[in-house]
Amino acid sequence: MLSQHIGPFTCEVRRENGQAVVSPRGELDMATMGAVDQELRELRRAGVAHILLDLGGLTFMDSSGLHLITKWVSEASKDGFELELEPGPTPVQRIFHLTAMHDSLPWKKHD
């Protein structure tokens, strides 16, 4: 059996000029989604009007992460702030395709 080391979950936040980038790293699941939710709530309380949720550092995401993202997409449409998603690696993006949600989410547009 192969042993694979998985690093600890982290969630980095960078703020600049009224915008923020939230970058979770590791596995986004029931055990870690609260940390991301808390960071997003704090940014909104601080009045940040544009948030990019960068999924690029995730190694795994389950339905808890999917629920968190759809909740915040809904909040953004109701509350008038902009939320964009930076796609994650193939295993993470797969959940969006399997649930037929990929085309309905606010993915960051690249030039």
Q: How many CB atoms lie within 10 A of CB 71?
A: 13
> pLDDT tens for residues 25-56?
999 999 999 999 999 999 999 999 999 999 99
> Is 1's pLDDT higher than 90?
no
Backbone angles phi, psi at 43, to 5 degrees: -65, -40
pLDDT confidence of residue 39: 97
Domains and CATH numbers, the chain: 10-104 (3.30.750.24)
| Confidence (pTM) | 0.91
Q: CB–CB of 74/104 below 8 Å?
A: no
DSSP-H helix ranges across the chain: 33-45, 63-79, 90-98
Band of residue 16 on the pLDDT scale cut at 50, 70, 90: confident
Q: How far apart are CA 28 and CA 39, in angstroms?
A: 14
> Is 7's pLDDT higher than 80?
no
